[in-house]
Amino acid sequence: MSDNLLQRMNWPNSTFLLSTFLGALTIVPWYLWTHDLDLFQILLFVFYYFATGMSITLGYHRLYSHRAFKANRLVDWWTVFFGAGAFEGSVLAWSADHRRHHQHVDQDEDPYNINKGFFYAHCGWLLMSPKGSTCLDNVGDLKKSRLLRFQHRYYVPLCFLVGFGSPALIGWLWNGASGALAAFLISGLLRAVVVQHFTFFINSFCHMVGTRPYDTKTTARDSGIMALFTYGEGYHNYHHKFQYDYRNAVKPWGYDPTKWMIWALNKVGLASGLRRVPDEKIMQAQIFEQQNRLEEHLATPQGVSIPDSILESLHASQERLSHAMKEWTAKKKQYQLAMEKKIETSRHQIAELKKEAKEAARHVQQMFEEWKMLIAARNLGWIEHSPQV
Ligand SMILES: [Zn+2]
Ligand SMILES: [Zn+2]
């Protein structure tokens, strides 16, 4: 190991990350092998897994970094308290790094730039981050909050208190010293390592695994499998394209427990102002992306050799899609004007307009599928591949 590398190491971060990781790989399996775990301890683990992990995805990420919705004080307190127990830094530092990630994605200024390799983006950047605190010049809005300033100032005692101390205390109340040890090892140590690495996946795997239906200019990718590990953050290509949307999975079948929780909090009055990108804008982004790829493909030697008859059917399909898109945009606008009472309409007419707008949206989806099938059938295999891979 060169002197240079030793100097660049962030020793507090490295010691913590390495010792907890090794502890979870050695002490925890030994404990599980030699002791029986009761149901209470398993439920406690599940509680801390979601409470701390989703305080990162729902609180640190969607609420504070992106301002995707407004939260009641209770949600603020909860995410700030349990978020500290995930051992990922204060909200201010985390959000400053994350906003820099979005602003400079895949470039040198990106704190977890995937172009420096999987390990660097996953946790290497934490092991080698320069000493001293993160520059907080891009979180002026968050610095106005007393709660966030308090958490930032007392982050170190707070993270140990919440991440290790509170599960141990609950375990002790449940079953004395042996309950405290089990809770410390399972809901404290093991849980902290699992939550850390699962959320680190967002910066590593989510920039490597999956497809890019909305934008191929960045490495961010959509993957339903990654969503399972990351509390729904696996739809990362969508997220980088539309970062202020409170949802990461926009398709109804997408696994996004963070989105469901925000939605549920809204229903019980604990969250408001949920920001959503309109459906037609999302569809437009997908169509635009596919058309760009088609044009790029047509400019390659492989594309130039495509027979005219195929090109004609492709263009005809493209025409139908563009017509359907115009129709949908017009219908949706009419419906919105009626809802905002800017045009004279009865309730029956509003219901009709809603039905027509939905029908037009379905038609666009069909035309888009037809267009994609045509491309797939002609083996123009660029549809799911990206030129940057
Ligand atoms: Zn990203
Ligand atoms: Zn983000």
Give residue-wise pLDDT tens across range 103-161: 999 999 999 999 999 999 999 999 987 656 689 999 999 999 999 999 999 999 999 99
Identify which has the larger pLDDT, 294 or 250. Answer: 250
Out of 68-82, 123-137, 150-164, 232-246, least confident range: 123-137
Q: Is the per-residue pLDDT at 305 higher than 80?
A: no
Query: What is the number of other CB atoms lying within 10 angstroms of the CB of residue 119?
Result: 11
Mean pLDDT in residue range 21-50: 96
pLDDT at residue 131, as a whole number: 59
CA of 248 to the centre of ligand 1 (A): 12
Backbone angles phi, psi at 113, to 5 degrees: -65, 115
**% of the chain beyond a pLDDT of 90:** 65
**pLDDT averaged over every residue in the chain:** 90
Residue 140, number of CB atoms within 10 A of its CB: 8
- Integer Cα distance of 221 and 137 in angstroms: 28
The fraction of the chain above a pLDDT of 70, given in percent, is 94
Distance from the alpha carbon of residue 179 to the mean position of ligand 1, in angstroms: 39
pLDDT (mean) for 327-351? 82
**Tens digits of residue pLDDT in 151-185:** 999 999 999 999 999 999 999 999 999 999 999 99
Q: Which residue has the higher pLDDT, 309 or 174?
A: 174
Higher local confidence (pLDDT), 184 or 295: 184
> For position 184, what pLDDT does the model report?
98
Does residue 381 carry a pLDDT above 60? no
pLDDT at 385 over 60: no
For 254-277, the pLDDT digits (tens) are: 999 999 999 999 999 999 999 999
CA distance 156 to 152: 9
Say how many C-beta atoms besides its own lie within 10 A of residue 27's C-beta: 13
Q: What does residue 121 show for φ and ψ, rounded to 5 degrees?
A: -70, -30
| Higher per-residue confidence, 334 vs 101 | 101
Q: Cα of 372 to ligand 2 centre, how many Å?
A: 29
**Which ligand is the nearest neighbour of the Cα of 206?**
1
Q: How confident is the model at residue 386 (pLDDT cuts 50, 70, 90)?
A: very low
Contacts of 124 (CB under 8 A, 6+ apart): 116, 117
Q: What is the structure's pLDDT at 2?
A: 55
Q: How many A from CA of 26 to the centre of ligand 1?
A: 32
165 alpha carbon – ligand 2 mean position (Å): 30
Q: How far is ligand 2, taken at its centre, from the CA of residue 107, in Å?
A: 16
387 pLDDT band, cuts 50/70/90, is very low
Whole-model pTM: value is 0.87
Whether the Cβ atoms of residue 258 and residue 58 lie closer than 8 Å to each other: yes
- Predicted confidence (pLDDT) at residue 318 exceeds the cutoff of 90: no
Instruction: Please name which ligand lies nearest the alpha carbon of 215.
Output: 1
Mean pLDDT lowest among 220-229, 360-369, 379-388: 379-388
Phi, psi of 261 (to 5 degrees): -65, -40
CA of 327 to the centre of ligand 2 (A): 33
Q: Bridge partners of 70?
A: 272
pLDDT score recorded for residue 382: 52
Centre of ligand 1 from the C-alpha of residue 61, in Å: 11
Q: Identify the DSSP state of 190.
A: I
pLDDT of residue 64: 98
Spatial CB neighbours of 65, under 8 Å, sequence gap ≥ 6:
94, 95, 98, 99
Higher pLDDT, 213 or 375: 213
Ligand 1 mean position to 113 CA, how many Å? Answer: 9
| Ligand 2 mean position, distance from CA 240 (Å) | 7
Which residues on neighbouring strands pair with residue 71, listed in sequence order? Answer: 271
Structure-token pair, residue 291? 């058309």
Ligand 2 centroid to 54 CA: how many Å? 14
**Which three-class secondary structure state does DSSP give residue 272?**
strand
**Centre of ligand 1 from the C-alpha of residue 384, in Å:** 19
| Phi and psi based region of residue 34 (left: phi greater than 0; alpha: psi -120 to 50; beta: remaining) | alpha
C-alpha 236 to ligand 1 mean position (Å) = 6
Q: Nearest ligand, CA of residue 106?
A: 1
All structural domains of the chain, each given as residue ranges with its CATH number in brackets, are 3-272 (no CATH), 279-377 (1.20.120)
> How far is 181 from 185, CA to CA, in rounded Å?
6
**Ion ligand 1: protein residues whose beta carbon lies under 5 Å:** 220
Give me ligand 2 centre to Cα 233, in Å: 9
Ligand found nearest the CA of 112: 1
What pLDDT does residue 295 have?
81
Compute the distance between CA of residue 143 and CA of residue 132 in angstroms, rounded to an integer: 18
By mean pLDDT, which of 4-18, 20-34, 155-169, 365-379 is the weakest? 365-379
Output the CA 229–ligand 1 centroid distance in Å. Answer: 15
> Which whole-number Å values give the CA distances from 14 to 6, 19, 22, 269, 357, in the listed order?
11, 8, 12, 41, 55
